[in-house]
Amino acid sequence: MAVTTTSNGRTYTTKDGVLLPSITTVLSIRSRGAIQEWRQRVGSEQANRIGRSAAGRGTALHSICERYISNIDPIFTGKEMPHVVQMFRSIAPIINKRIGSIWLQEKPLYSLHLGLAGRVDLVAEFDERLSIIDFKSSSKVKDVADISSYFIQESAYAIMFEERTGIPVDQLVTLMAVEGTNKVLVFVESRDRWTDELHKTIHEYNSEKLFRG
């Protein structure tokens, strides 16, 4: 699938030429107001610095996890920051003990039913149940109320995967390493708990897009 990123977000084009917005672009409308308020509160320069740091940390952690799961040696390139290496070392035991057979890793998926596309971190067995698995990093401990968009995104991947393969996935797993600690937060959710919020967000996005013309 071809991917295009513009100021309006990211889109994917299927092999049949269907243009679909990314799930992250659609979900961005949920946090847009809060992000604007936060940027005004801390200032643009500080907000940009924090954003770059968080994005770089997350990308680096994803890359290490992908290499590790794919058995690529060496796991580390030598360019990783020490705190990212520590975060991976805290999450590795969970990968070893609880993640089983791998079905997909870092692969694009799409759903014509949802009108969405995206790139899933991992589809694999977790505690012996086929799951959508997402690796996250955070500068602080969070709870379910802080990260509802993660579960909505994962529920979208589950629907995309089932539409493409015919195989249902009802378990969503978020593994979150917390910077500066050895703590890993493990969130296990049901897909069906979050599909209503997914459809509500898609409707809101499409309505806003139609209004903009």
Sheet of 184-190: strands edge to edge? 99-111, 116-126, 129-138, 171-178, 184-190
> Which is nearest to 161 in space by CA: 122, 206, 199, 200?
122
Average pLDDT estimate for 153-164? 97
User: What is the reported pTM?
Assistant: 0.90
> Which stretch of 8-12, 97-101, 132-136, 150-154 has the lowest confidence by average pLDDT?
8-12
Decide which of 3.90.320, 3.40.50, 1.10.10, 1.10.3470 is the CATH code for 21-212: 3.90.320
Q: Are 116 and 28 in contact (CB under 8 A)?
A: no
Q: Tell me: pLDDT of 198 over 70.
A: yes
d(CA 112, CA 98): 32
Q: Tell me: pLDDT of 139 over 80.
A: yes
Mean pLDDT (the chain, rounded): 89
pLDDT tens-digit profile of 11-61? 999 999 999 999 999 998 876 555 566 456 667 676 567 567 667 777 889
Write down the pLDDT at residue 213.
Answer: 46
Average pLDDT estimate for 97-122? 96
Give the domain ranges of the chain: 21-212
Q: Are 174 and 136 in contact (CB under 8 A)?
A: yes
More confident residue, 100 or 74: 100
